[in-house]
Structure 1
Amino acid sequence: MSVTQFMPNATIHLHQGDLPDGISLGASVAVDTETMGLEPHRDRLCLVQLSAGDGTAHLVQIIPSRLGGHGADCPNLKRLMSDTGVVKLMHFARFDVAILQHALGITVAPIKCTKIAAKLVRTFTDRHGLAQLSRELLGVEMSKQQQTSDWGARDLSPEQLAYAASDVLHLHALWSRLEALLIREQRLDLAEACFAFMPARARLDLLGYEVPDIFAH
Structure 2
Amino acid sequence: MTVHFHEEDLPAGVLAGDGPIAVDTETMGLVTHRDRLCVVQLSDGGPDEHLVRFKVGSDYDAPNLKALLGDPNRLKLYHFARFDLAAIEYYLGTMAAPVFCTKIASKLTRTYTDRHGLKNIVTELLGGEISKQQQSSDWGAPELTEAQRDYAASDVRYLHRLRDVLAGRLEREGRTEIAQACFDFLPTRARLDMAGWADKDIFSHE
Separation of aligned partners in 2, 1:165 and 1:197: 27
Shift of 1:215: 1.5
Separation of aligned partners in 2, 1:55 and 1:23: 12
Q: Give deviations 1:134-178, integer Å, cap 9, x for gaps.
A: 000000011001001000012100010000000101110011110
1:111 alignment counterpart: 99
Shift of 1:80: 0.8
Residue 164 (structure 1) aligned to one of 146, 149, 152: 152
Tell me if the contact between 1:25 and 1:51 (Cα under 8 Å) persists in the aligned partners. Answer: no
1:45 alignment counterpart: 37
**Paired AA for residue 61 in structure 1:** R
Residue 21 (structure 1) aligned to one of 8, 12, 25: 12
Structure 2 unpaired stretches of 5+:
none
Separation of aligned partners in 1, 2:45 and 2:66: 20
Separation of aligned partners in 1, 2:163 and 2:135: 22
Separation of aligned partners in 1, 2:133 and 2:199: 30
Shift of 1:55: 1.7
Separation of aligned partners in 2, 1:128 and 1:111: 18
Alignment partner of 1:95 is 2:86: no
Separation of aligned partners in 1, 2:28 and 2:115: 25
Separation of aligned partners in 1, 2:12 and 2:200: 42
Residue 183 (structure 2) aligned to one of 191, 195, 201: 195
Q: Give deviations 1:15-37, integer Å, cap 9, x for gaps.
A: 00000023334310000000000
**Paired AA for residue 192 in structure 1:** Q
* 1:131-170 matches, cutoff 5 A: 131-170=119-158
Q: Give deviations 1:97-143, integer Å, cap 9, x for gaps.
A: 11111111112210000000000011110010000000000000110
**Paired AA for residue 51 in structure 1:** S
Shift of 1:62: 1.3
TM-score (norm 1): 0.91
Percent identical across equivalent pairs?
55
- Provide the aligned C-alpha RMSD in A: 1.0
Tell me if the contact between 2:15 and 2:43 (Cα under 8 Å) persists in the aligned partners. Answer: no
Separation of aligned partners in 1, 2:140 and 2:59: 12
Which structure is higher in strand share?
A: 1
Shift of 1:64: 3.2
Separation of aligned partners in 1, 2:72 and 2:16: 14
Separation of aligned partners in 1, 2:116 and 2:75: 21
Distance 1:199 1:147, change over 3 A: same
Which deviates more from structure 2 when the two are superposed, residues 19-28 or residues 157-166?
A: 19-28
